Amino acid sequence: MTGTASTREVAGRTLVELGRDHPDLVVLGGDLNKSTFANLFGAAYPDRFFDFGPAEQNIVSIAAGMAASGKVSVVSTFAVFSTARPYDQLRVGVSQSNLNVKMVATHAGIITGEDGMSAHAIEDVALMCALPNMTVIVPADAVETAQVLRVVVERPGPFYVRLSRPATPVIHDNGFAFALGKAERVREGGDATVVACGIMVNTALEAAEALARLRVEVDANAQQGYRAEGLADRIRNEYGVSKSRASLIARQETSNFMANYIEASSRDAGIKKYQWYSARDSRTRPDHLALHGKIFSFDNPPITDTRTGARNNPMQDYRCRCRAKPVIS
Amino acid sequence: MQVIDDGGAIAETSTGRPVRMATPGGTATKDSDMREPMSAQQLTEVARRLRRHIVTMTAMAGSGHPGGSLSAVEIVASLYFRVLRHRPGEPTWPERDRFILSKAHACPVLYGALAESGYFPMTELTTFRKIDSRLQGHAHIKTPGVEMSGGSLGQGLSFGIGTALAARLDGRPTRTYVLLGDGECDEGQVWEAAMSAAHYRLDSLVAVVDRNGIQNDRFTSEVMELEPLPAKWRAFGWHTLEIDGHDISQVLAALDEATETKLKPTAIIAKTVKGRGVSFMENNPDFHGKAPSKEQLAQALEEIG
Ligand SMILES: Cc1ncc(C[n+]2csc(CCOP(=O)(O)OP(=O)(O)O)c2C)c(N)n1
Ligand SMILES: [Mg+2]
């Protein structure tokens, strides 16, 4: 699969497929079955599909009763109505009871922006993670959603599957195999760790790409001897950030580049040590002032923040104006 | 209604539903777990024993809910020892009828009935509310014979809809009986469920409302007026009966009528006395959630006989 697809629509279609192999699968909805695509299951298996109207407390307890009688109960409604509203029914009747109730919730997060804040499910993951026996899964795309639903239907116990409304990019190829409870590395790299779930995985991938592009721009800008100010305007235009943030990024990243450049060129010349040189004016932070004149090695930077214990070479700390004077031994 | 044959096998009633068979002479049926349905006189005797269990268990635990347990004794006794098709030796038998104690604080009466039926040893009743006991202060699904975890009022009727719908899908003859408190009917979910059960024409579902007129703090008429309660159930599409919930023959007749009723669920509003059988507990809101003291226990046992 490539392009975009909505996880809720794939979930609706997958339930129809699963209904073929699983005669005990029942789907319970709350008057949102067109939006959740649960109506596809209803059309395929009318006797195993139940609509109770928007009465989510009732729905969850009924799902529990059916599960206690050997059914695999899928409850399909919006995330806001799947969690906070019937929370007590989930708590006592499903999770403490460890019954086969699968909450397949759509329209999660703030992606329902225009509907206003009552429609934004932002507490749902926290609520569901607090319940004993409850497994929470937030698939990243349509490919994963289809595989997750199969696992959820076939494994015993309560599950919460958090799906989204819009069509979002498909990031997994057909060789993907979902593994319950395991994080999946979707991009290699060594500078930073970004952890994401659900549709934010794609956003995080885009952010990683943008950061990689930014790194190239910063380096090129600095290598050509341009100042950070010119870069700030470009960052502002390209990444849509505020003026102050753009100039902060430009200064900080240029400064970082310079620090790395000095370190690398010193090493190239066989220099391993430097003398810390601070500006010694009213803006110099005391921790940095205390380092002035002392000799350190690039490999073992000093503590530059006594509160956090962070270690850095000059120009690596936020807005640091100190310099590393190479020491030739 | 009930068809007796020598073999103690399952046979059909006029309504087409298999019923539990009695074996003459009081010996076990062939289906060894199925006990002989009790006569009204035997039910009166088992009701007396259930009352003794209730006051003893709560007194030994030093806490618990005797009032609403005592008011439901005849209802629970009639179900467990006459009406329900169940196998105490095989609590998960799929075909069993379901009894769902929605007012799960009244679990002493349920535990008494389960022990008397043979789901667990009678001696286990002494562990009620103790740490590591299977007999929690509110009924929990992991206890043998308990169908639903309760304690949070208002969920049992919905749960019963679930068991009834599942039975219908499977073509099982299972019937579902849900015992609700009257104060519990303040919960909105009860009425969501009432509407749904009628919509799905769940004639295998019976709601029994223990109309003892008292809830946690006070009389129901003071906390929240419920009347006209039967009219409410009728308006929600239920076949609705009003009975004296301590008169075993009325309880049995109502349960029979529920079985005969087609295309509608049945609500039985059972007028009862909270704390029934113990003079100082009767109609006394204080004994909703308070255990009798040692001295009170002695008096209670003497009154119960
Ligand atoms: C959701 C919920 N709210 C509050 C309580 C506390 N509570 C326990 S029993 C009770 C009163 C119940 O009255 P009723 O249903 O009439 O019970 P009965 O008289 O049969 O004992 C209350 C409010 C609870 N258990 N669950
Ligand atoms: Mg009451």
How far are the Cα atoms of A9, A119, B152, B190 from residue A113, in angstroms, in the given order?
Answer: 19, 8, 34, 34
| Residue-level pLDDT at A69 | 98
Per-residue model confidence as pLDDT tens digits over A199-212: 999 999 999 998 88
From A232-236, A302-306, B170-174, the region with the lowest mean pLDDT: A232-236
With an 8 Å Cβ cutoff, are A68 and B94 in contact? no
- Specify the pLDDT at position B11: 37
Q: Which of A126-140, A251-265, B291-305 has the lowest mean pLDDT?
A: A251-265
Q: How confident is the prediction for chain A on average, in pLDDT?
A: 93
Model confidence at B237: pLDDT above 50: yes
Are both A267 and A148 inside the same structural domain?
Answer: no
Question: Would residue B97 count as lying in a domain?
Answer: yes
Whether A92 and A36 map to the same domain: the answer is: yes
Q: Which residues surround ligand 2, an ion (CB under 5 A)?
A: B 181-183, 212, 214
Q: What is the pLDDT of residues A74-110, one digit of tens each?
A: 999 999 999 999 999 999 999 999 999 999 999 999 9
Pairing status of strand B266-271 against strand B239-244: parallel
Q: Is the C-beta atom of B184 inside 6 A of ligand 1?
A: yes
Assess whether the C-beta atom of B214 lies below 6 angstroms from ligand 1: yes
Tell if the CB–CB gap between A70 and B166 is shorter than 8 Å.
Answer: yes
Residue B31 reports pLDDT greater than 70: no
Please say if the pLDDT value at position B19 is more than 80.
Answer: no
Q: What is the per-residue pLDDT for A309?
A: 94
Q: How far is B267 from chain A (nearest CA, A)?
A: 18
Query: What per-residue confidence (pLDDT) applies to A224?
Result: 83
Q: Per-residue confidence at A219, pLDDT binned at 50, 70, 90?
A: confident
Would you call A67 an interface residue with chain B, using a CB distance cutoff of 8 Å? Answer: yes
Residue B13 located in a structural domain: no
> Domain range holding B116?
46-304
CB under 8 Å to B183, separation ≥6 — which residues?
Answer: B153, B214, B215, B216, B220, B223, B224
- How many percent of chain B have pLDDT more than 90? 88
The answer to the question of residue B252 being in a domain is yes
B interface test, pick of A31, A62, A98 with most B CB neighbours within 10 Å: A62
Distance from CA of B101 to the nearest CA of A (A): 13
Q: Is residue B36 part of a domain?
A: no
Asked whether residue A13 is assigned to any structural domain, the reply reads: yes
CA distance A258 to A323: 10
Residue of A18 and A260 predicted with greater confidence: A18
Look at residue A225 and tell me if it is in a domain.
Answer: yes
Query: Where residue B194 falls among pLDDT bands split at 50, 70, 90?
Result: very high
Please give the Cα distance from A196 to B85 (Å, whole number). 52
Residues of A serving a catalytic function are 56
> Nearest residue of A to residue B178 by CA position?
A65
Same domain flag for A75 and A205: no
Of A169, A191, A223, the one marking the end of a domain is: A169
Pick from B74, B103, B153 the residue to mutate for probing ligand 1's pocket: most ligand atoms within 8 Å of its CB.
B153
* Residue whose tokens read 């804040």: A117
Nearest-Cα residue of chain B relative to residue A94: B149
What is the mean predicted confidence (pLDDT) over B266-288? 98
Q: Identify the pLDDT of residue A239.
A: 84
Residue A313: inside a domain: no
Q: Within the 162-201 window of chain B, which residues sit less than 8 Å (CB to CB) from chain A? A: 162-167, 169-170, 174, 188-189, 192-193, 195-196, 200
pLDDT band at B33 (very low <50, low <70, confident <90, very high): low
Interface test with B, best of A59, A69, A92 (most B CBs within 10 A): A69
Domain edge (last residue) among A128, A149, A169: A169
CATH number of A54's domain: 3.40.50.970
At B73-91, the pLDDT tens digits run: 999 999 999 999 999 999 9
B23, pLDDT greater than 70: no
* Encoded tokens for A112: 């329902």
Residue A314 lies in a domain: no
Pair of tokens at residue B43: 């039910």
pLDDT tens for each residue of B80-136 = 999 999 999 999 999 999 999 999 999 999 999 999 999 999 999 999 999 999 999
Closest among A296, A299, A304 to A327, alpha carbons compared: A296
Task: Check residue B34 and give its pLDDT.
Answer: 60
- pLDDT tens-digit readout, B158-185: 999 999 999 999 999 999 999 999 999 9
pLDDT at A314: 94
Q: Residue A169: in which H helix or E strand, if any?
A: strand A167-169
Cα B13 to its chain centre, rounded Å, is: 23
pLDDT at position A65 is 98
Give the count of domains, chain B.
Answer: 1
CB B161 within 8 A of CB B200: yes
Question: Same domain, yes or no, for A219 and A137?
Answer: no
Domain residue limits at A231: 200-298
> For the domain that residue B289 is a member of, what is the CATH number?
3.40.50.970
pLDDT of residue B142: 96
Specify the range with the lowest mean pLDDT, choosing from A223-237, A257-271, B157-171: A223-237
DSSP A16-36: HHHHHH-TTEEEEE-S-HHHH
Are the C-beta atoms of B297 and B271 separated by less than 8 Å?
no
What does the DSSP 8-state code read for residue A175? Answer: T
| Judgement on whether residues A234 and A160 belong to the same structural domain of the protein | no
Whether A290 has a pLDDT exceeding 90, the answer reads yes
In a domain, B201, yes or no: yes
Average pLDDT of the residues in A180-196: 91
Please tell me if the CB atom of residue B285 comes closer than 6 angstroms to any atom of ligand 1: no
pLDDT greater than 70 at residue B193: yes
Q: State pTM to two decimals.
A: 0.87
Determine, yes or no, domain membership for A143: yes
Residue A157 and residue A204 in one domain: no
In a domain, B23, yes or no: no
What is the per-residue burial (b if ≥16 Cβ within 10 Å, else e) of A298-309? Answer: beebbebeeeee
pLDDT at B9: 34
Whether pLDDT at A189 is above 90: no
Q: Are A165 and A205 found together in one domain?
A: no
B22 inside domain: no
Are residues A25 and A138 located together in one domain of the fold?
Answer: yes
> Does residue A45 lie within any of the structural domains?
yes
Q: Are residues A146 and A233 in the same domain?
A: no
SS in 3 state form for chain B?
CCCCCCCCCCEECCCCCEECCCCCCCCCCCCCCCCCCCCHHHHHHHHHHHHHHHHHHHHHHCCCCCHHHHCCHHHHHHHHHHHCCCCCCCCCCCCCCEEEECCHHHHHHHHHHHHHHCCCCHHHHHHCCCCCCCCCCCCCCCCCCCCCCCCCCCCHHHHHHHHHHHHHHHCCCCCEEEEEECHHHHCHHHHHHHHHHHHCCCCCEEEEEEECCECCCCEHHHHCCCCCHHHHHHHCCCEEEEEECCCHHHHHHHHHHHHHCCCCCEEEEEECCCCCCCCCCCCCHHHCCCCCCHHHHHHHHHHHC
C-alpha to C-alpha distance for B59 and B61, rounded to whole angstroms: 5
Residue A134 lies inside a defined structural domain of this protein: yes
Is the per-residue pLDDT at B10 higher than 70? no
Closest chain A residue to B104, measured at CA: A92
The percent helix, strand, coil of chain A (3-state, each to 5) is: 45, 15, 40
Is A156 in contact with A100 (CB distance < 8 Å)? yes
Residue A54 sits at the chain B interface (C-beta within 8 Å): no
How many domains are there within chain A? 2
Residues A99 and A207 in one domain: no
Choose the final residue of a domain: A121, A153, A169. A169
The yes-or-no verdict on residue A230 having pLDDT over 90 is no
Give yes or no for residue B15 having a pLDDT over 70. Answer: no
Confirm whether B8 is domain-assigned: no
